[in-house]
Amino acid sequence: MTVKSDLPQGTLDLLILKIVALGPVHGYAIAQRLQQVTRDVVQVPQGSLYPALHRLEYRGLLGADWKQTDTGREAKYYQLTKKGRGQLEAETADWRRLAEAIGLVLKLSEGGAR
Amino acid sequence: MSWWQRLSGRKQMEEQLDKEMRFHLDQHISELIAQGRNPQEAQREARLAIGGPEQVKENCRDARGTRWLEDLFQDVRFALRMLLKNPGFAAIALLTLALGSGATTVMFTVVDGVLLKPLPYPAPSRLVAMQEKTEQATRLGNLWAFAYPNYLDCKRASHSVEMAAWRETGGAIREPDRAEYVDSRQISADLFSVLQVPVEHGRAFTSDDDRRGAAPVMIISHEMWKRRFAESPSALGAQIVYAQESYTVVGILPAAFQLDGHSDVFTPLGQDPSPIMERRDRHPGLQVTGRLQPGVTLAQAQTELDLIARPLAKQYPDSNAGRTFIANSMRPDVGDVGSTLWLLLGAVTLVLLIACANVANLLLARAVSREREFAMRAALGARRGRLIRQCLTESAVLGISGGILGVFVAAVGIRPFVTFWPGNLPRAEEIQLDWRVLLFTLGISLLSGLFFGLAPALRIPSRNLEAVLRSGARSLTGRARRLLLVSAGILGRTLLRLASADPGLNIHNVLTARLNLPNSTLDTPARIRATWQDVLDHARRVPGVVSVATVDTIPMRDGNNQLQYSTTPPPAGATQLPMMLATSVSSDYLKVMDIPLLKGRFFDDHDRQGSENVAVIDDVLAKLAFGAQDPIGKQIWFPNTDTPYSSGSANPEAARVIGVVRHVQHWGPASDDQATVRAQFYYPFAQLADAYVRRWSDLMSVAVRTSTAPLALVDPLQKEIRGASGDRVFNQILTMEQIASDSLAQQHMLMLVFGIFAGLALLLACIGVYGVLAYLTSQRVSEIGVRMAVGATAGDVILLILRQSMGMIFAGVGVGIAGALVAGRLLEKFVAGVKSLEPGTFVLMIFVLVLAALFASYVPARRASRIDPMRALRQD
Q: Is A75 on the interface with B (CB under 8 A)?
A: yes
Percent with pLDDT over 70 in chain B: 85
What's the sign of the alpha-carbon dihedral B517, B521, B524, B525? Answer: negative
Give start and end residues of each alpha helix (H) in B247-336: 298-315, 317-320
What type of residue sits at position B831?
A: V
Does the complex come out with an ipTM higher than 0.90?
no
Between CA B71 and CA B388 the distance in angstroms is 13
Q: B21: which chain A residues are within 8 Å (Cβ-Cβ)?
A: 50
Asked if the structure places residue A16 within a domain, the reply is yes
Report the pLDDT value the prediction gives residue B726, as an integer from 0 to 100.
74
Report yes or no on A44 lying in a domain: yes
Mapped onto helix, strand or coil, the DSSP state of residue B128 is strand
From chain B, pick out residues whose CB is under 8 angstroms from the CB of A12.
Answer: none
Question: Nearest-CA neighbor of B325 among B307, B305, B311?
Answer: B305
Question: Which of chain B's residues have a Cβ under 8 Å away from the Cβ of A54?
Answer: 60, 63-64
Nearest by CB: B56 against A50, A73, A75:
A50
| pLDDT tens track for B663-706 | 998 888 777 877 888 999 999 998 888 888 888 888 889 999 99
Residues B8-60 have pLDDT tens digits of 666 777 888 888 888 888 888 888 888 888 888 888 888 887 777 777 887 78
| Residue B422 phi, psi dihedral angles, 5° rounding | -70, 140
Q: Is residue A97 part of a domain?
A: yes
B329-333: long-range pairs with CB below 8 Å, 24+: B329/B125, B329/B127, B329/B128, B329/B129, B329/B298, B330/B119, B330/B124, B330/B127, B330/B128, B330/B129, B330/B289, B331/B119, B331/B129, B332/B114, B332/B117, B332/B118, B332/B119, B332/B426, B332/B427, B333/B260, B333/B426
User: Quick check: A50 contacting B, CB < 8 Å?
Assistant: yes
**pLDDT score for B1:** 46
Q: How far is B124 from chain A (nearest CA, A)?
A: 48
CB contact under 8 Å between A31 and B24, yes or no, is yes
Rounded CA-CA distance B607/B645 in Å is 12
**Mean of the per-residue pLDDT values of chain B:** 81
The verdict on a CB contact (< 8 Å) between A27 and B60 is no
Find the CB nearest B59 among A51, A58, A66. A51
Alpha carbon distance B97, B324 (integer Å): 55
Between helix B736-743 and helix B745-779 the angle, nearest 10°, is 50
Distance from CA of B51 to the nearest CA of A (A): 6
How much is the pLDDT for B161? 92
CB distance from A65 to chain B under 8 Å?
A: no
Range of the domain at A66: 5-107
pLDDT band per the 50, 70, 90 thresholds, residue B302: very high
Chain B's closest residue to A59, CA to CA, is B64
Q: Say yes or no to pLDDT of B420 above 70.
A: yes
Range with lowest mean pLDDT among B180-189, B530-539, B777-786: B777-786
- H/E element holding B516? strand B510-516
B772 pLDDT higher than 80: no
Is some CB atom of chain B closer than 8 A to the CB atom of A51? Answer: yes
The CATH number assigned to the domain holding A48 equals 1.10.10.10
Q: What is the pLDDT of residues B570-598, one digit of tens each?
A: 776 666 788 899 999 999 999 999 999 99
- Beta carbons within 8 Å of A61's beta carbon, 6+ residues apart: A17, A80, A81, A83, A84, A87
Give per-residue pLDDT as tens, A24-39.
Answer: 888 888 888 887 777 6
| DSSP state at residue B257 | -
Q: Do A76 and B51 touch (CB under 8 A)?
A: no
| Sign, CA torsion B338/B341/B345/B347 | positive
Question: A-chain residues within 8 Å CB-CB of B67?
Answer: none
Give the closest of B16, B26, B65 to A58, CB-based: B65
State the virtual CA torsion across B394, B398, B399, B404 in degrees, nearest 10: 140
Q: What angle do CA B234, B237, B238 make, to 5 degrees?
A: 70
Mutate to test the interface with B, among A25, A28, A40, A43 (most CBs of B within 10 A): A28
Closest by alpha carbon to B746, among B338, B446, B200, B328? B338
Contacts with A74 from chain B: Cβ below 8 Å: 19, 23
> B454: Cβ–Cβ under 8 A, 6 or more apart, which residues?
B392, B395
Report the pLDDT value the prediction gives residue B475, as an integer from 0 to 100.
Answer: 47
- The pLDDT tens digits for B393-416 are 888 888 889 999 999 988 888 888
How far apart are the C-alpha atoms of B486 and B492, rounded to whole Å?
Answer: 10
Contact between A15 and A49 under an 8 Å Cβ cutoff? The reply is no
Residue with the bigger pLDDT between A113 and B776: it is B776
pTM, rounded to two decimals: 0.65
Helix ranges (DSSP H) in B421-558: 435-458, 465-500, 525-540
| Count of domains forming chain A | 1
Identify which of B51, B73, B54 has the alpha carbon closest to the alpha carbon of residue B14.
Answer: B54
Quick check: is A112 in a domain? no
How far apart are the C-alpha atoms of B768 and B770, rounded to whole Å? 5
- Distance, in Å, from the CA atom of B409 to the CA atom of B543, rounded to the nearest integer, reads 51
Chain A residues 4-33 with a CB less than 8 Å from chain B: 26-28, 31
* Contact state of A47 with B24 under an 8 Å Cβ cutoff: no
Least CB–CB distance from B16: residue in A45, A47, A76:
A76
Q: Please answer yes or no on whether B20 and A55 come within 8 Å at the CB atom.
A: no
Whether A73 is covered by a domain: the verdict is yes
pLDDT tens digits, A59-85: 888 888 888 888 788 888 898 899 989
Beta strands in B33-126 (DSSP E): none
Nearest CA in chain A to B46: A46
Residue A113's pLDDT band (cuts 50, 70, 90): very low
Instruction: Flag if A76 and B24 touch (Cβ within 8 Å).
Output: no
B415 φ/ψ angles, rounded to the nearest 5 degrees: -65, -50
pLDDT for residue B837: 56
Best mutation target among B4, B13, B20 (most A Cβ atoms within 10 Å) is: B20
CA B566/CA A48 separation, integer angstroms: 99
- In contact, A87 and A17? CB cutoff 8 Å: yes
> Which residues, in sequence order, are bridge partners of residue B618?
B661
Length of chain A as a residue count? 114
Q: Select the residue of B28, B62, B64 nearest A28 (Cβ to Cβ).
A: B28
A100 lies in some domain: yes
Beta strands in B45-196 (DSSP E): 127-138, 141-144, 161-174, 179-187
Chain A residue nearest residue B23, CA to CA: A75
pLDDT at A114: 47
Strand, helix or coil for residue A60? coil
* pLDDT tens, position by position, B310-350: 998 889 988 888 888 999 888 877 777 777 788 788 878 87
Distance from CA of B41 to the nearest CA of A (A): 18
Interface test with B, best of A12, A48, A49, A50 (most B CBs within 10 A): A50
B634/B657 Cα distance (integer angstroms): 6
Contacts of B64 in chain A (CB under 8 A): 54-55, 58
Question: Across-strand partners of B292?
Answer: B161
Residues B34, B712: Cα–Cα separation, whole Å: 111
Residue from the list B23, B50, B63 with its beta carbon closest to the beta carbon of A58: B63
Coil, strand, or helix at residue B548?
A: strand
Cβ separation of B23 and A74 shorter than 8 Å? yes
Contact A47 B50 (CB under 8 A): yes
Strands B217-220 and B245-252: parallel
Quick check: is A11 in a domain?
A: yes
Distance from CA of B50 to the nearest CA of A (A): 5
Higher pLDDT, B828 or B236: B236
Q: Which helix (H) or strand (E) holds A90?
A: helix A82-107
Q: Is A59 exposed, middle or buried (0-12, 13-18, 19+ CB in 10 A)?
A: middle
Indicate the helix (H) or strand (E) that contains B330.
none
Q: What are phi and psi of B172, to 5 degrees?
A: -95, 135
CB-nearest to B20 from A27, A46, A58 is: A27
In a domain, A74, yes or no: yes
Q: What is the pLDDT of residue B595?
A: 92
> Residue A58: its chain B contacts at CB < 8 A?
63-65
Distance (Å, whole) CA B243 – CA B458? 74
User: Which one-letter amino acid corresponds to residue B746?
Assistant: Q
In whole angstroms, what is the distance from residue B751 CA to residue B76 CA?
41
The better pLDDT of the pair B328, B462 is held by: B328
Give the residue among B756, B740, B737, B750 at the shortest CA–CA distance from B834. B750
- Cβ–Cβ contact A73 with B under 8 A: yes
Contact between B219 and B249 under an 8 Å Cβ cutoff? The reply is yes
What is the DSSP-derived secondary structure letter of residue B596? P
Mean pLDDT, rounded, for B824-836: 68
Q: CB of B425 within 8 A of CB of B745?
A: no
Better-predicted residue by pLDDT, B526 or B852:
B526
DSSP 8-state assignment for residue A10: T
